[in-house]
Amino acid sequence: MAPFPPARRLLWLSDALLLAVAAVWGTSYGVMKTALAFYPVLGLLALRFGLTFVLLLPALRGLRGVPAALRWQVGGLGVLLLAIFLCESYGVLHTQAARAAFLISLCVVFTPLVEWALLRRRPAGREWAAVGLSLLGAALLAGDAAGGFGLGDALVLGAALLRALMVCCTRRVLAPGGAAPVAPALAVTAVQSGVVAVGCAVLATLQGPWPALPSLAGEPLFWGCLAWLVGACTLFAFFAQNAGLQRSTPTRVALLMGSEPAFGALFAVAVLGEPVGPAAWTGGALIVLAALLATVRWMPGRRSALAAPAARS
């Protein structure tokens, strides 16, 4: 068997990283809920992304040769990320975790439509099949959630739509375009973190005095959650996602990230002790199957349409 060419190996490495991101973000709901028991949303987000920005300050040197217009676009990605986390965090506070996971996974459904509108790339038939499987799996995963559609659900739904827009806009900013300069993924992550940290800090200040931070010795659980949110869910996850978008299409990335609810269920059972029924396990399996459908080269000798770069308008 002939060895994979370097471009194919890089694509598979990118896919593996994105699946790892999905696993990490699957834990974020439980970790975030735990941390929010100690500190409010805006303060926690400001801490999380402020620490991330400080750690990534050296990466900003990568923007030295980037045109001013591209820097403004990168700043716009930070504003989008701020909107996503505000909607998602407040939404999770006001709805069940299972419903939030289902609604966030609708990003997988929104992304082909947003990509088609913004990047002029018509989704392939296999992508639509994977989208359908992912949506069915997410519905089964959260099928036993009770209650009507409320404010929290609407906020999480808005976050899902913004996620789809973020994926496509990030692809547009980061994808190589001939001789045009490209912003480094790590520098983009640094800028995004700074924008979110400043935005949340300003909003928190407008609400009034900041509450006192939990003590390091007295509340190690809070600081452990914060360390995980910064190190795994932010530093690693956003860098890997931005890097993956440079070698893949937005819909492919969204489908890989669509396995997040399945990993969230595994985390809920193994760590939080939450019960998960047969329907939810079936849904998780369908979501993982959708991710495999998006990545496995089923027809030897034929180039997968999903591996092709997205067209630029």
Average pLDDT over residues 71-99: 86
User: What is the chain's mean pLDDT, rounded?
Assistant: 77
Short-list 195, 203, 196, 98, CA closest to 156: 98
Among 82-96, 163-177, 206-220, 291-305, the range scoring the smallest mean pLDDT is: 291-305
Provide the sign of the torsion angle of the four alpha carbons 153, 158, 163, 168, taken in this order: positive
Rounded distance between C-alpha atoms, residue 4 and residue 154, angstroms: 44
pLDDT at 250 exceeding the cut of 70: no
- What pTM did the predictor assign? 0.74
pLDDT digits (tens, 9 = 90+) for 133-186: 877 877 776 665 555 567 887 898 899 889 888 888 887 776 655 445 577 778
Among 16-30, 85-99, 119-133, 248-262, the range scoring the smallest mean pLDDT is: 248-262
Q: Give exposure, 116-152, as e/b (b: 16+ Cβ within 10 Å).
A: eebbebebbebbeebbebbbebbebbbeebeeeeeeb
Question: Do residues 97 and 29 lie in contact, with contact meaning Cβ atoms separated by under 8 Å?
Answer: yes
Write the secondary structure of 23-74 as one string of H (helix), E (strand) and C (coil).
Answer: HHHHHHHHHHHHHHCCCCHHHHHHHHHHHHHHHCHHHHHHHCCCCHHHHHHH
In one-letter notation, the amino acid at residue 34 is: T
Among 66-75, 258-267, 303-312, the range scoring the smallest mean pLDDT is: 303-312
pLDDT digits (tens, 9 = 90+) for 86-135: 998 888 777 766 677 767 777 777 777 787 777 677 777 777 787 788 77
Check residues 118 and 192 and name the one with the higher pLDDT.
192
β-pair partners for 177: 180
Average pLDDT over residues 181-203: 87
Short-list 190, 195, 192, 197, CA closest to 46: 197
Average pLDDT over residues 185-208: 91
